[in-house]
Amino acid sequence: MEAATTNSAAPNGDSGRTPASDTWSYEHTRILPEAFDGVDAGATLNILDAGPAESLSIDFFRRYQCRLYVANLFNPAAPGHGLESVPEYFDSVDGVRFDVCFLWDYINYLDHEAFAEFVSLLTDHVHEKTRLYAIGAYAVELPLRAYRYAIADADKVAIRPTGGVVPQPRSRNEVVKAMRRYVVHRAALRRDNRLELLLRTARTNWN
C-alpha cells in the first residue's frame, strides 16, 4: 500500500503547517463516549488503535476490560511509515473482530487505491455493532494539519501537532462513498478544519 503524495493547496500561500510540539493539548468531545455505547458492559472489548502506541491511550484503556491492539499502521511524524505492513498486520490478527476502531486521521494518509484496500482488509475484522472513530476534513480544499492523537479520558482527546499536513484530506462524503458498509453516526467540526467522525456498520448492508 502506498501513501498519497499530493497536498491540498492552501489559500493565500498559507501552508496550514503548525510547528511540531512535544506538548499535548486537550479537547473535550461529545462523540468519543458514544463509541462505547451499546456494548456489553461485562464483555472484553477488542480495541484497534491504528496509530503508534501512545502512553496516554494505553493508560486510559488499563481502566477497562479490553484487549488493545496497537497496529502502528502509520506514524504522523513520518508519513509513509508502516503502510506496507497493513496486509501483514491484518493477517497477524486473523479471526479477531474489533468492537471499536480508532483510525484517527489515518484515512487522510492513503491514496484512493490504498484506502479502498484498507477498507477491504478491515471488513473481515468488524461485526454488526462495530464503531469507528476517525478524523476527516470539513473542507478538502483547505489544508488539514497532521497531529498525533491519544485518548486522555472518556470525553477528552489529546492532540499534538507534528509540524506537517496530511497528504489526502477526505471529506465526510468521500469517507461515506469509500466505506459503503458504514454510516456516519455522529460528526462534529473541530478547529483546524478537522471533522470528527463516528461511524458504525450499516446493518442493512451486513448480510
Residue type, 177: K
Residue 21 lies in a domain: yes
Within a 10 A sphere around the Cβ of 161, how many other Cβ atoms? 18
The DSSP 8-state label assigned to residue 191 in this structure reads S
Q: What is the pLDDT of residue 8?
A: 34
Using the predicted structure, report yes or no on whether residue 27 has a pLDDT greater than 90.
Answer: yes
Strands (E), 86-144: 100-104, 131-137
Residue 3 lies in a domain: no
CATH number of the domain encompassing residue 36: 3.40.50.150
Residue 6 lies in a domain: no
Site of grid cell 494518509: 109
Q: Pick the more confident residue, 6 or 197.
A: 197
Segment 7-15 mean pLDDT: 41
Residue 1 lies in a domain: no
Q: Give me the domain span that covers residue 183.
A: 11-202
Rounded to 5 degrees, what angle do the CA atoms 1, 99, 87 make?
Answer: 20
Residue 179 lies in a domain: yes
Nearest residue to 56 via CA among 157, 132, 190: 157
3-state helix, strand, coil in the chain (%, to 5): 25, 30, 45
46, HSE (Cβ side, Cα atoms, 13 Å):
13
Report the domain count for the chain.
Answer: 1
Residue 4 lies in a domain: no
At residue 74 the predicted structure's pLDDT band, cuts being 50, 70 and 90, is confident
Residue 94 lies in a domain: yes
Nearest residue to 134 via CA among 104, 165, 174, 172: 104
Using the predicted structure, report yes or no on whether residue 204 has a pLDDT greater than 70.
Answer: no
Using the predicted structure, report yes or no on whether residue 1 has a pLDDT greater than 50.
Answer: no
Residue 133 lies in a domain: yes
pLDDT digits (tens, 9 = 90+) for 135-178: 999 999 999 999 999 999 999 999 999 989 999 999 999 999 99
pTM of the model: 0.86
Q: What is the pLDDT of residue 105?
A: 96
Q: What is the pLDDT of residue 79?
A: 55
Distance CA 168, CA 6 (A): 7
Strands (E), the chain: 25-28, 45-49, 66-70, 100-104, 131-137, 145-153, 156-165, 182-189, 194-201
Contact 129, 35 (CB under 8 A): no
